[in-house]
Amino acid sequence: MASYDSIQKLHQSLPAFQPYIPAAALPYPAFVLLVSTFVLAFYFSTLPKATVPVRELGVAAIASVLSGFGVVFLFCSVGVNV
């Protein structure tokens, strides 16, 4: 097992973290993803009800994924890195 000093030197020698998407650009995809979530939620609420809700489940799943990524982008854009 490595000593604490060697691990600390290794940590200090590593480069700083650089995100793939700059923090200044995060509000734009967050806005697009969250608006598309609300559009899909409106579309989901206007679909005719069927006995087998395959189409409803597909729309709801897409809206759920978009809202999840939108919330993560929004949190990261305001400084809450998740």
Check if the beta carbon of residue 67 is closer than 8 Å to that of residue 35: no
What is the pLDDT confidence band of residue 21, given thresholds at 50, 70 and 90?
Answer: confident
Enter the pTM of the model: 0.75
Residue 62 domain flag: yes
Q: Is 1 a residue whose pLDDT tops 70?
A: no
Residue 49 domain flag: yes
Residue 36 domain flag: yes
Range of the domain at 74: 23-82
Helices (H), 18-77: 27-46, 54-77
Residue 7 domain flag: no
Structurally, the chain folds into a number of domains equal to: 1
Mean pLDDT, to the nearest integer, of 20-38? 93
Residue 63 domain flag: yes
Residue 78 domain flag: yes
Over the stretch 34-77, which tens digit does the pLDDT of each residue have?
999 999 989 888 878 777 788 888 888 999 999 999 999 999 99
Q: What proportions of the chain, in percent to the nearest 5, are helix, strand and coil?
A: 70, 0, 30
Residue 61 domain flag: yes
Report the C-alpha gap between 14 and 8 in whole angstroms: 10
